[in-house]
A and B are shown apart, each in its own frame.
Chain A
């Protein structure tokens, strides 16, 4: 029910709809709840609406944290 996926905005159609790309599938969604969304941004799509934005820097930071952990554990005897 709360299934939502990150998708890239390909184009804005008007001020409250946009075309997104989700693993190669294109779909028109509402961006009324994320009026700041621009082409190239990743948004979280849920029941036909973008409900939030993906912060690319924070995403990198979380992944870096995982990688750091992997390196630490890998180095341990």
Chain B
């Protein structure tokens, strides 16, 4: 990145980060502990990559949340995509991030491709539509994953396919919703199984909030009495958000504040919300890897677009598949355990050969710690 990137570089200034760190250190109350969860993998990545954890006073603990769409994609869903490629002879198009996620039987989309499955990485949902137009003799399925950021582009291709009456195109929708996942972390039945961590506040999603706005978190902050500060993904944004959270805790406030005002408004992107609600409706339940079934936490394609819904078109059944027995992703996604608590971390499970979902994406808690933090755990010994 030799050229200056406006709206990026100025939010990565190291000196300013030190200043914000000093101000945080001055504002934390002696003897008080602060635990904040950053929901998004993008924040987890920034905290690891820019060493934000080291800049914070020891009384502040950052807990990594489940906001990495690749990490929460359950095995059963990847199995469906692999089934479409290997058994139903469909061309399966997908974002590159999903290729290495471990699935059943030692497979992944990457390995299924090596076995002859026609699986293609695309940059955009629109690319999958182009492939369908160019190969009318084949079924083309877009394996659609992601939070509220990738949903509007998927909705656009579904609407376009319907407009063109494109007969050979369909979408396997695995789109999930952020607010319901945050709620689930605080109140799910599994909290009893995993135990719970005290969370004093949340660093709220960056790009998800561009689409949905800051308003959807209002109810949450009020009902659960937790402060939320929406923050951009650059290091200064994250530092500033932590400072704002410390202030809210100190002053006993539980409000939704917005640090990322340059891109997030209270209402969000209304054009994007309109196309999403035209094409999608709520699913009653959806399995999240590590979190289990979360009610009303995902989207399915409306009956009007049934022809382009791969689940209906191929009469797909969903079969849940448990994770590797020793994999701690479930507890790590909830913030109850850290990557180094897992026996598989860095030994059997590495970014080159991930066992659990948190190691697959660079935004996963385990991959972020493996790439940027694992040497931090080793005490420095003078030669």
Say whether B149 contacts A46, CB under 8 Å.
Answer: yes
Q: From A22, which residue of chain B is reached at the shortest CB distance?
A: B5
Q: Which candidate, B257-265, B286-294, B309-317, B334-342, is the interface stretch facing chain A?
A: B257-265
Is A24 an interface residue when CB atoms closer than 8 A count as contact?
A: yes
Cα A2 to Cα B361 in complex, Å, equals 11
**B150–A46 touching, CB < 8 Å:** yes
Interface size class, chain B: 35 or more
> Does B3 sit at the interface, judged by CB under 8 A?
yes
Q: Mark A4-26, 1 if CB is under 8 A from B, else 0.
A: 11101000000000000011100
Whether the Cβ atoms of B156 and A2 lie closer than 8 Å is no
* A35 and B271 form a contact (CB under 8 A): yes
B97 within 8 A of A: yes
CA distance A4 to B145 in the complex (A): 16
> Does A23 contact B3, Cβ atoms closer than 8 Å?
yes
In the assembled complex, B15 has its CB within 8 A of some CB on chain A? yes
Once the chains are docked, how many angstroms separate the CA of A4 from the CA of B67?
Answer: 15
A15 to chain B, nearest CB (A): 13
Q: Are B8 and A6 in contact (CB under 8 A)?
A: yes
Say yes or no for B22: interface residue by CB 8 A criterion: yes
CB distance from A53 to the nearest CB of B (A): 7
B124: which of A44, A49, A65 is its contact (CB, 8 Å)? A49
> Contact: B7 with A2, CB < 8 Å?
no
Residues of B contacting A35 with CB < 8 Å? 271
| Option from B6, B97, B152, B156 in Cβ contact (under 8 Å) with A1 | B97
Q: Are B69 and A2 in contact (CB under 8 A)?
A: yes
